[in-house]
Amino acid sequence: MTIWLTAWRQTCCALLLPIVCAGVALCTGNAQAQIPEQLFDSLAARPASHAGTNGPPISTRGKTVADIPIWKRITLGTQRGVNAMRDALDGAKVHIGDSADEILGRPAFPFSKTRIELDLVVLTPADLGFDGRTPIADIYRRAEHLGLELCPAETGPQLRLDYVNQPVGEFLHIAMLPIASYDGDPVDLTVGNGGAGLVLLGGDGRGDLTLHSSVKFVFVRPARIALPNSPSQSEMP
């Protein structure tokens, strides 16, 4: 089922995303997941720039994270645990894919015990300087280089609850550390509207999975943004 949903999701993204309104979004807070290199061991020996992704690095485009406008602000911690989240999604008539529903209940899927506000942004691999199909790991590395952060896993279901006016044909890939299914498969989340209602889907979260440059990713914009060339606290007298 996960493989079918992944293929369906990529096809929808490639065919439908270019015709829907573009969004730009970011997330904030200290609860954001950083991008551990060990997650992508299969790519560890390969540089982020490779054949087929010949766009210029974001740093050469004269942009910083401060240049990216916030798309949406959400609050984590409004649903205390998986049962409350599932009830809320069911009440909102959201269709939850099998693999998405599975990882919601996994012990590794955290739910915040306190309310945390996150500022979200939406960027495509093309926005980050990539062309063609690009591994997720490379997309995340370049976003991290820009100053963005991965979303906590709870961002997916919470955004699904909050984003009730999502345009038909839009699918937003949550940039997150994947959660292992019962079989050990890495699963990440996508928030979409395929025309038959709002959906929360699980898909292949492997770092070497390649996605088209038009796929929309949701990242977190940090609450505190360092200015270019500004000294860090450790460097200050």
Answer whether 72's CB lies under 8 Å from 163's CB.
yes
Taking the C-alpha atoms of residue 193 and residue 95, their distance in angstroms, rounded to an integer, is: 10
Q: Is the pLDDT of residue 22 over 50?
A: no
Q: Is the pLDDT of residue 100 over 60?
A: yes
Q: What is the pLDDT of residue 62?
A: 57
Taking the C-alpha atoms of residue 219 and residue 208, their distance in angstroms, rounded to an integer, is: 19
Domain boundaries, the chain: 2-36+52-223
110-153 pLDDT tens trace: 999 999 999 999 999 999 999 999 999 999 999 999 999 999 99
Taking the C-alpha atoms of residue 189 and residue 175, their distance in angstroms, rounded to an integer, is: 8
User: 73 versus 233: which is more confidently predicted?
Assistant: 73
Closest CA to 178 of 120, 112, 100, 230: 100
The token pair that represents 30 in the structure block:
């200290």
